[in-house]
Amino acid sequence: MPRHIPSNNIQEFRAILHAAKHIIVVAGAGLSAASGIPTFRGAGGMWRSLDAMSLATPEAFAKDPSLVWQFYHYRREKALRAEPNAAHVALAKLSIPSVRASIAPSSKTFHLITQNVDGLSTRAARAVTTAQETPDASALLEMHGRLFDVRCTKCSHTTLDFSSPLCQALGDADRAHEDEVAAGKKETQISIPLEDLPKCSVCNSLTRPGVVWFGESIPLLPQLDKLVEQADLCLVVGTSSLVQPAASFAWQVQENGGRVAVFNVEDSLGTDTADFFFQGGCEIELPRALGMDDTA
Strand partners, 278: 263
Q: By CB under 6 A, name the binding residues for ligand BV8.
A: 28-30, 33-34, 39-41, 56, 115, 117, 144, 211-218, 238-240, 242-246, 263-266, 268, 281-283
Look at the alpha carbons of 147, 153, 156, 161 in this order and tell me if their dihedral is positive or negative. Answer: negative
Rounded least distance, CB 123 to ligand BV8, Å: 17
| Beta strands at 145-152 and 158-160: parallel, antiparallel or unpaired | antiparallel
Minimum CB distance to ligand BV8 smaller for 95 or for 114: 114
Contact 198, 61 (CB under 8 A): no
Report which of 277, 65, 245 is spatially closest to residue 152, judged by C-alpha positions: 65
The span from the CA of 241 to the CA of 250, in Å, is: 9
20 in contact with Zn ion (CB under 5 A): no
Rounded least distance, CB 150 to Zn ion, Å: 10
The span from the CA of 202 to the CA of 197, in Å, is: 15
Strand partners, 263: 237, 278
Would you say 98 is a known binding-site residue? Answer: no
Minimum CB distance to ligand BV8 smaller for 61 or for 107: 61
Partner from ligand BV8, Zn ion, none contacting 122, C-beta within 5 to 8 A by type:
none
200 in contact with Zn ion (CB under 5 A): yes
Binding residues for Zn ion (CB under 5 A):
152, 154-155, 157, 200, 202-203, 205
Annotation: binding site for NAD(+): 28-47, 115-118, 238-240, 264-266, 282
